[in-house]
Amino acid sequence: MKAYIKSITLLLILVSISCKKQTTGSSGTNRNSSFSALVNSVNWPPYQNNFTTVLFNETDTLGINTNHLVIGLSSASSTGVGLEQILINAIKSPNSPILTGEEFFGYTSSDSTRFMLGAYNTTNISGDVMLSESDTNAYLRITKHDLTNKVISGEFWFESIDNDNNVYSITQGVFTDIKYD
């Protein structure tokens, strides 16, 4: 499962780099979008509310269709040098829409049909990337999903662990009226 999570995390990073959506008020339909979270009890402000939001469907190696909701945000590093990123991936199978009121928990082998992955990543000025990912200690609740207008809101938290066993506690996460295509 760790290899799958690492693959998804890398996919999320690539998606977030290549599919940025500006929601900073210059776009009338997205100006009310917001995102907030604490990282290790410190307020984490996203950089200009620059969201990456993707809802996609894929068929896994067993031929099962799964829906993925990916939300990614970047922020200037708290140290003032580099970039920080929070990524959320809700995964649901078999193929059915992600609905208002649904809850997603960290991956467990007893329920591999609906789970949530979280990642907290940093990049320093030299371009060195530190990846951390959640395991079973994660939660996401969809508070609103307007399928017609493609707008989603939710609450989340997760603990993310990097290769050096540093723990990043992402708490009080809220995203509101995030638009996707």
For residue 147, CA distances in Å to 47, 56, 156, 181 come to: 27, 13, 20, 11
The percent of the chain in helix, strand and coil, each rounded to the nearest 5, is 10, 55, 35
The whole-angstrom separation of Cα 60 and Cα 66 is: 7
pLDDT means per 10 residues, the chain with 181 residues, are 47 42 32 84 74 66 70 68 81 81 83 82 79 87 92 93 88 90 73
Q: Minimal CA–CA distance to 121: which of 1, 9, 4?
A: 9
Contact criterion met (CB below 8 Å) for 3 and 10: no
Q: What pLDDT score does 17 carry?
A: 40
The whole-angstrom separation of Cα 166 and Cα 146 is: 37
pTM score, two decimals?
0.77
Alpha-helix runs per DSSP H in the chain: 2-18
Q: What pLDDT score does 24 carry?
A: 27
Contact criterion met (CB below 8 Å) for 2 and 10: no
